[in-house]
Amino acid sequence: MNQPSTVTQFRWDNSYAERLPGFYVSCTPSVVPNPVLLRFNSPLAEELGLNAGKLDSSLAARIFSGNESPAGAQPLAQAYAGHQFGGFVSQLADAAEGNPALLEGLFPSADAVRPWLERWRRRLAQQPTSATPEGMRAVNPIYIPRNHLVEEALAAAFDHTDLTLFERLLDVIAHPYDERPGLEDYAQPAPREFTACFKTFCGT
């Protein structure tokens, strides 16, 4: 069971929870059996204002595994946009150009995202050229080999010796940044019936 910690050296402001309602759910981290601390970045700890001397290896292992929540922390699970996999990026680029309708349409209520969007625009104005709409589109693919598409292609190949879907997928992702008519399904997240029972890991 996750336990609150009496360690107070972490200075939390929980700004994500305060500023982005609707983008997370409060949660209790899953317990990791017998966590062990293998390495500790002391220079980074000092940069973050942590007193590494007060964190013995056993306590650090419990905190960084999620088994023990530091005092003042508010554990939460963030809404994962898959930003490095094409999710939301094109809509964010549209919003940066003054057309937020597509982005707002992804949420149950546009009012939930508008305050964040306004803050994001102000910050975007201070960013280098790579953060312009053109820069965002240039480095974030529209089409990627999403799990459900790969599974579908592999099933057809193995079960029916049919490489049509596999070859089609290869053709689509060969030009991942170029939006093309008729490929809308390749840019969409997996359907709920797939994600409800499919498990994968970041290293796969």
Query: Would you kindly state where each structural domain of the chain is located, as residue ranges?
Result: 3-78, 83-139, 147-195
State the average pLDDT over residues 66-85. 74
* Residue carrying the six token digits 């994001």: 120
pLDDT digits (tens, 9 = 90+) for 92-106: 888 888 888 888 887
State the average pLDDT over residues 33-62. 83
**Which DSSP state fits 123?**
H
What is the per-residue pLDDT for 130? Answer: 55
Distances (CA, A) of 202 to 25, 85, 147, 154: 21, 12, 12, 19
Relative to beta strand 24-26, strand 3-4 is unpaired
State the average pLDDT over residues 151-157. 93
- Could you tell me the pLDDT band of residue 167, with boundaries at 50, 70 and 90? very high
What is the per-residue pLDDT for 204? Answer: 47
- pTM value? 0.52
